[in-house]
Chains A and B, each alone.
Chain A
Amino acid sequence: MPEGTGIGASVRRREDARFLTGSGTYTDDINRPGQTYAVMVRSPHAHAKIKKIDKSKASAMPGFVACFTGDDMKVGGLPCGWLVKNQDGTPMVEPPHPVLAQEYVRHVGDIVAVVIGETKQQARDAADALVVDYGVMPAAVSLKEAVKPGAPQVWEQAKGNICYDWGLGDKAAVDAAFAKAAKVAKLDLVNNRLIPNAMEPRAAIGEFDRATGDYTLYTTSQNPHVIRLLMGAFVLSIPESKLRIVAPDVGGGFGSKIFHYAEEAIVTWATGQIKKPIKWTAERSESFMSDAHGRDHVSHAEMAMDKDGKFLALRVETLANMGAYLSTFSTCVPTYLYATLLAGVYTTPAIFCNVKAVFTNTVPVDAYRGAGRPEATFMLERLVDVCAKEMKMDPAEIRRKNFIQPSQFPYQTPVALQYDTGNYDATLDMALKMIDYKGFPARKEAAAKKGKLRGIGISCYIEACGIAPSAVVGSLGARAGLYECANVRVHPTGSVSIFTGSHAHGQGHETTFAQVVSEKLGVPLEQIDIVHGDTGKIAFGMGTYGSRSIAVGGAALVKALDKVIAKGKKIAAHLMEASEKDVEFKDGKFQVAGTDKAKTFGEVALTAYVPHNYPITELEPGLEEQAFYDPLNFTYPSGCYIAEVEIDKDTGTIEVARFVASDDFGKIINPMIVEGQVHGGIAQGLGQAMLETCVYDKDGQLLTGSYNDYAMPRADDFPSFEVQHSDKPTPCTHNPLGVKGCGEAGAIGSPPALINAICNALGVGHMDMPATNEKIWRAANAHAARAAE
């Protein structure tokens, strides 16, 4: 482990001191003078007409302040950030997304009214007294039912509940390849719907300043500037100059805190009405029915192979659940973040994917850790195992046979992406070694002697991170740019404040970003402050998701630091009466090359602010620089995960005996933090694979609406994970740090590894997630029955 505080060192986190002592400031920890409390009145029905709302009892309750419904709050709707087009070129169906329900409610949890009280309890009591008369309507709930002829319609304008019917790839080439295939492997699978469950429930505080007419919103967001843009421009018509968004310490996001939610607009609008601060904090049961859900695909896939197991073509059809409304990034998740990853790490020359996005009377579905890429990886890595079985090949060997080779980069896939670099054999070899793949048959035999079924499963993932080149995503329908902004303010005494548009909600930016600054400027960590999460302080930002912080935000930071160094060289050259081109900056010193003449970074900073001896006609005083960085390409982290499981036939219980991970994240800033990100991602992936699933009944009631019913992974569900970084890493070729991003890899790579291991143990072709004890028991006993025949 490198010593010191620069790039590559496992520096202990600077933010931990406040979190460990209870001194963090999460949104619900903030209280504003004269604050009132909001309670959202939510629909108990999946689909209903609002016949009447009677406020009389509620408004007579003690401490009642105000009640607003959709009739009161006539504002713009919540916008969708990505326009996807149908295969015929026509635009998707984009229904309105009212902040407070207008005439109809379309999922359990849809907000009908907000009730504001002087205390939280009074607000709750008054909300309980609000009478809403509903005319209940039939609901379209599951994907398969919603697309059937005659299914209840979520939106009149979306015939058959189809939002879009989209395709990517060369269908004719795929059909031709299938026609000459020696073997075809087929797979039907479901990617189970998940509820993100960041441990901090969402919260929002709106505050109107009577003196200035300014609005401030404190909110649990991964991207405060995006919220300012969406809410200010599209919903409430408040100019950016009058609207400040603060996202303070945020207790986990995993995608669910990217989106602009109704409650943010409600408290901001309502504080302008009542001229008092308003706080809303979700109860966990509200989170279950209002945070955007994740995944929820039903797919059919086929792989055409030649006689040796070489992949010739891939054909995929997917139904993707959108829920009742189009959440901020919902539409791009099952398209541009999904189908574009279907090449995986393989040379499959022809791919075609058709995705039909479907409206249902359920909570909106949007990006959740990995967003589209876990769905693609689960599909592909399961299908590759089916291919191996079909060809009677070892799962490791069929993968190796089809890998894109290091000599083939940059590699253009048939589904739009161009991978810049990678070495897939390296991570596969490393993981096989870590798990002792050759020793598996002996372990299986030993397990069998104990009456246990042991299985092993491989998954080789790739993801597109560092989201995203603006021109590329713009051409595909994104309604935003996806660059990042950083500002470096060097103070007169040489301490440094960094203002970044990236937002940390567990990722440790206050440490890693400071390491980059320390490395570049030679300034000790104690003199570096990382500021994020406040549109009042930071020039601009697109926020944190898609494993983009270090790859895009870090690159913007490096650009700004380079500008500081360039200006510092000019100042130092003047001070040392040298030519600027002879000045080098190294280890915190500006030095005239080949001499011992030098000025420290602190001396140059002071000179910039006390410009007595200064090239004033050529250079402004001060030392502060800003940079925007728009990536040239996505980054492509990849790796190999292997799970080994042991199953008790009699009970169906499963023990994850070992889980090994070998990742190629390119250059790594802080290995300790990167490993922590991988651990967390693996746990979420294994949670999806063996425990978690969101269940609605046929009427659209959410059955998994609390921790009593939704199986959150606990500590005793997992072993310790074995995580290593590739011994032949391939740094990103197009960003200045060579970094790729690591936040989502664990959640992307782990589900197929576990399900492949379970299928291997049971000798079955497929098992849908979550692989519960009951499913495993049924499969294990069917297998035993077959074996006995």
Chain B
Amino acid sequence: MPTTVSMTVNGKKVSGQVEPRTLLVQFIRETLGLTGTHVGCDTSQCGACVVHVDGKSVKSCTMLAAQAEGANVLTIEGLATDGKLHPMQEAFREHHGLQCGFCTPGMVMSAIDLVKNNKNPSEHEIREWLEGNICRCTGYHNIVKAIAAGAKAMA
């Protein structure tokens, strides 16, 4: 039985018909067509699907669309404002923190949540925080650099 879910995504009110088993990431990608949020695994480990739900980073494959009823969701598409990259996006660009780009949206969303709670994270803290985000291209080296620089730029 399809149900209707409504939420705010990137500042816009949206709603759609979904099966009860529909995951939030499916709703974002397939119903809303916001394909910047990626699916890299089926065990909630890779972190390619990280979005913010009510201000907190969440793996959007770990919750049902129905659980996000009424929530405020921010995806990678909602970060840049007036064509200007968010300081964390800019830091990833400046420090070559991405290669194939597939893990990138999740990395950036996760990094912003880290900095919200820890304004000046150490290298060790950044590496620990990224436990739930897997990258196969960069060896994490430049991602860590980018997040440290992004944190400074966000201050």
- A interface residues (Cβ-Cβ under 8 A, vs B): 12-13, 15-26, 28-29, 121, 197-201, 249-252, 254, 283-285, 505-508, 672-673, 675-677, 679-684, 706-708, 712, 714-716, 718, 720-721, 746
Contacts and interface: CB of A to CB of B under 8 A. Distances in A.
Given A22-B77, A679-B138, A721-B141, A707 B41 contact: yes
B99 A20 contact: no
A24 B77 CA distance: 11
Nearest to B100: A506
A673 to B, nearest CB: 7
Interface in B127-147: 127-128, 130-131, 133-145
Q: Report whether over half of chain B's contact residues are helix, strand or loop; otherwise say mixed.
A: loop
Given A12-B94, A718-B140, A200 B102 contact: yes
Contact of A251 (B42, B77, B101, B130): B101
A683 B130 CA distance: 15
B42 A283 contact: yes
Contact of A707 (B46, B101, B141): B46
A199 B43 contact: no
Contact of A26 (B85, B102, B126): B102
A199 B108 CA distance: 16
Contact of A22 (B75, B103, B123): B75
19 contacts: A15-B101, A18-B101, A20-B85, A20-B92, A20-B93, A23-B36, A201-B39, A252-B99, A284-B43, A676-B99, A679-B139, A679-B141, A706-B41, A712-B134, A715-B128, A715-B143, A715-B144, A718-B139, A720-B144
A18 B136 CA distance: 19
B34 interface: yes
Nearest to A25: B35
B52 interface: no
B19 interface: yes
Contact of B35 (A29, A283, A507, A718): A29
B75 A715 contact: no
Nearest to B124: A716
B5 interface: no
A675 B19 CA distance: 46
B98 A199 contact: no
A507 B36 CA distance: 20
B100 A284 contact: no
Nearest to B47: A199
Contact of B139 (A17, A198, A508, A683): A683
A79 B98 CA distance: 34
Contacts, number: 180
Given A707-B134, A720-B123, 20 more contacts: A13-B93, A13-B96, A19-B100, A20-B98, A20-B108, A22-B36, A22-B105, A121-B19, A199-B48, A199-B103, A200-B40, A200-B100, A251-B102, A252-B137, A506-B137, A676-B96, A676-B137, A683-B139, A714-B130, A718-B141
B132 to A, nearest CB: 9
Contacts of B101: 15-16, 18-20, 24, 249, 251, 506
- How big is the B interface, by class? 35 or more
Nearest to A252: B100
A23 B140 CA distance: 22
Interface-centre pick from B36, B92, B101, B103 (highest chain A CB count, 10 A): B101
Contacts of A677: 99
A28 B113 CA distance: 27
B60 interface: no
Contacts of A682: 139
A372 to B, nearest CB: 20
A672 B104 contact: no
B75 A21 contact: no
B59 interface: no
Contact of A285 (B42, B96, B103, B105): B42
Contacts of B89: 20-21
Contacts of B35: 22, 25-26, 28-29
A707 B45 CA distance: 7
Interface-centre pick from B85, B139, B143 (highest chain A CB count, 10 A): B139
Interface-centre pick from A25, A680, A712 (highest chain B CB count, 10 A): A680
B115 interface: no
A22 B139 contact: no
B80 interface: yes
Contacts of B138: 676, 679-680, 683
B140 A16 contact: no
Interface-centre pick from B29, B80, B98 (highest chain A CB count, 10 A): B98
A718 B134 CA distance: 13
Given A21-B80, A22-B77, A506 B99 contact: yes
Given A252-B102, A712-B134, A715-B126, A21 B140 contact: no
Contacts of B128: 715-716
B104 A19 contact: yes
A249 B143 CA distance: 20
A6 B35 CA distance: 34
Contacts of B131: 714-716
Contacts of B143: 715
A199 B103 CA distance: 7
A19 B133 CA distance: 16
A26 B102 CA distance: 8
Nearest to A29: B35
B57 interface: no
A22 B137 contact: no
Interface in B83-120: 85, 89, 92-94, 96, 98-105, 108
B79 interface: yes
A646 to B, nearest CB: 15
Contacts of B124: 716
A16 B98 CA distance: 8
A291 to B, nearest CB: 12
Contacts of B48: 199
Interface in B17-38: 19, 21, 29, 34-38
B43 A508 contact: no
Contacts of A715: 126-128, 130-131, 133, 135, 140, 143-144
A250 to B, nearest CB: 7
Nearest to B133: A715
A34 to B, nearest CB: 15
Nearest to B142: A676
Nearest to A676: B96
A714 B46 CA distance: 10
Contacts of A706: 41-43, 45
B99 A28 contact: no
B102 A199 contact: yes
B125 to A, nearest CB: 10
B76 interface: yes
A681 B126 CA distance: 21
Contacts of A12: 93-94, 96
A22 B79 CA distance: 10
A714 B134 contact: yes
A305 B101 CA distance: 48
B77 A199 contact: no
Nearest to A722: B141
Contacts of A676: 96, 99, 137-138, 141-142
A716 B45 CA distance: 15
B108 to A, nearest CB: 7
A19 B143 CA distance: 14
Nearest to B99: A506
Contacts of B79: 21
Contacts of B43: 284-285, 706-708
B151 to A, nearest CB: 15
A20 B134 contact: no
Interface string B39-69: 1111101101000000000000000000000
Nearest to A282: B42
A287 B45 CA distance: 15
B142 A679 contact: yes
A200 B41 CA distance: 9
